[in-house]
Chain A
């Protein structure tokens, strides 16, 4: 029972990261009808920025901040310099271009930093606190949950309550109408890419210290897990992405805890296939698709 509680809490903490990353995928999917397959590589790039800035300043938090800013800028850059030029009448084209970006980004990181794992520092202890003799969350887990929670609340507030959020939604749902009403649709799209990439950068920063460390391919499997989370929730639904992320985190935590962590990758693949074959629209599609 103690183990179950521990695995559940651990799964929620891990799932929070997947939720954030899935949210980033959903943001771009809703705005541009593109699944950004380069999201993982972009997040790793920003994690290297954090690594370099932290090494230069001696402060984790300067690195953290620099990575978030780099994430925003990188997202905007990818939109303006690459994605905007792609003829997306064939849905294959944006996917293929994103894959080209994956190759490019990972190769550049390999050239600059080398293809070895570098230890990634966590700003808080990762040792689990005990509560009544039961191992529960670590301070770092609490930080992860708080950071993702803050981002989810901030995004929800922005989309529901601010003029910019309203413009972004209008630009995504009805671009032609939005333009007639004075919305700079292209600008909103770029902003969407920037925000998504920033959220992806945060997710990368949070997850990398809990995995093997910093590596150009550090987010490959995380991307697959987050994609699964986004599919579980339905690609169109931000709340679905959050729920899907937590669900995937729990499944992986139980599989790793009870069956062995080697099986986690296989579990992701099976889960993804199962969801797509049984409920291709996502488990929560009907309930949440039209709510924001």
Chain B
């Protein structure tokens, strides 16, 4: 039963203070899937990710990971369940070096040897990071920071990756590389990605599944290709 779903969101209501931002959101993401959540600014995409990773406790509803209700799970425990959240603005710690940022991603793991292997793999995946190991986070360019944030998440070998606006402020070429990498990770390691994007075109071109949000509600969902070609949706919500 739960084999068809890695992440389930049921009747989620969440917000800041008394005003809900998300109104009864339902979502189901199967394993080995890239799901893209798209929509205008303020649609509630980031709030959805924050609620899923526990940074924002939901007012109502449930979040289910691989059949287990995540209620009561603390944020710092989530990474041990295989969930990595790359937050808005990427969350690179500017005062730490590239190497320290990356090692931080695997510190929670008991299997020290595999954490070291994962670190090496990330350095192979992102050559610029390997060249700048000793540089501080705040010395990196925007693209390098995105690599670092993504690489740091991968050091933990997550099952589910929550990515908030990875394309923000990056050149199209870099965005394309990152999107290609996500597909490669999905195919090679079985990674599931919940991707929040304002860049609708590139998000829906890489994703398997698409979810369109507006004003805190899901207004459409289905195979990404179908959403991309739906003229009505494009005009009403996506603006291209």
Q: How far is the CB of B56 from chain A (nearest CB, A)?
A: 11
Q: With A166-B100, A170-B104, A290-B136 in contact, do A179 and B95 touch (Cβ < 8 Å)?
A: no
Taken together as a complex, chains A and B put the C-alpha atoms of A179 and B104 apart, in Å, by 11
Taken together as a complex, chains A and B put the C-alpha atoms of A170 and B87 apart, in Å, by 15
Contact with B along A187-225 (1 / 0, CB 8 A): 000000000000000000000000000000000000000
Taken together as a complex, chains A and B put the C-alpha atoms of A185 and B80 apart, in Å, by 15
Q: How far is the CB of A66 from chain B (nearest CB, A)?
A: 33
Taken together as a complex, chains A and B put the C-alpha atoms of A195 and B95 apart, in Å, by 21
Are B95 and A176 touching (Cβ within 8 A)? no
- Out of B76, B136, B156, which one reaches A179, CB within 8 Å? B76
Residues of chain B lying within 8 A (CB to CB) of residue A185: 76
Taken together as a complex, chains A and B put the C-alpha atoms of A178 and B91 apart, in Å, by 9
Are B85 and A163 touching (Cβ within 8 A)? no
Are B108 and A181 touching (Cβ within 8 A)? yes
Taken together as a complex, chains A and B put the C-alpha atoms of A169 and B104 apart, in Å, by 10
Contact with B along A130-168 (1 / 0, CB 8 A): 000000000000000000000000000000000100110
Are A181 and B96 touching (Cβ within 8 A)? no
Within 8 A of B (CB), among A62-91: none
Within 8 A of A (CB), among B200-233: none
A-B contact count (CB 8 A): 66
Contact with A along B65-108 (1 / 0, CB 8 A): 00000000001111110001101000101111000100111011
Count of interface residues, chain B, beta-carbon cutoff 8 Å: 25
Q: With A163-B107, A180-B85 in contact, do A174 and B76 touch (Cβ < 8 Å)?
A: no
Confirm or deny: B183 has a beta carbon within 8 angstroms of a beta carbon on chain A: no
Are B75 and A179 touching (Cβ within 8 A)? yes
Interface SS of A by simple majority: helix
Residues of chain B lying within 8 A (CB to CB) of residue A176: 55, 87, 91
Taken together as a complex, chains A and B put the C-alpha atoms of A183 and B85 apart, in Å, by 13
Count of interface residues, chain A, beta-carbon cutoff 8 Å: 18
Confirm or deny: B47 has a beta carbon within 8 angstroms of a beta carbon on chain A: no
Q: How far is the CB of B91 from chain A (nearest CB, A)?
A: 4
Are A173 and B87 touching (Cβ within 8 A)? no
Q: How far is the CB of B94 from chain A (nearest CB, A)?
A: 7
Confirm or deny: B192 has a beta carbon within 8 angstroms of a beta carbon on chain A: no
6 smallest beta-carbon distances between A and B, as pairs: A182-B108, A182-B79, A177-B91, A179-B75, A173-B95, A174-B93
Known: A169-B100, A180-B55, A181-B79. 15 other contacts (CB 8 A): A166-B96, A166-B100, A166-B103, A170-B93, A170-B100, A176-B87, A176-B91, A177-B91, A180-B75, A180-B76, A180-B87, A183-B76, A184-B76, A185-B76, A290-B136
